Amino acid sequence: MNLGRPLDRTALMLLRPIGWWGTASLRVLATAGVVGPAWLTPARGWACLWLLAWGAFMAACWVRGIVRFFVVQRYRQPLKCLRIDDPFRMRARKAFAWVTLLVLTQLPFRVALLMSRPWLDHRA
């Protein structure tokens, strides 16, 4: 039973879990990291741009969490409302860690090069 103040439309939106925009942004950033900087050796500019995009995404999620905290305080909602996005945050952190590892090691590029090495040696 909720004994807090009645919630307006904005408060209801902020207390919901992150919707399609967060999931879509996470997928786009992960794909862009694997396809872009992890493949291109001299593209430090693209890697920096990719890191800036991740930073903007994380900042947006952080701001949403701060605003949610103020909504929970103002409308006297239960504190468990602050934990709604925890599964999404863990997925985002894991995706960032894996893709960053792929970008730093350039593993997709190296695997593709090793797989095509016999063909390249034969053609050379």
Along the 124 residues of the chain, how does pLDDT read in single tens digits?
566 778 888 888 888 888 898 999 999 999 988 887 767 655 677 778 888 999 999 999 999 999 999 999 998 888 998 999 999 999 999 999 999 898 888 888 888 889 989 888 888 7
Q: How far apart are CA 18 and CA 57, in angstroms?
A: 12
Q: Which of 63, 66, 65 lies closest to 86 in space, CA to CA?
A: 65
Q: Where are the domains of the chain?
A: 19-123
Q: What is the DSSP letter of 80?
A: G
Write down the pTM of the prediction: 0.79
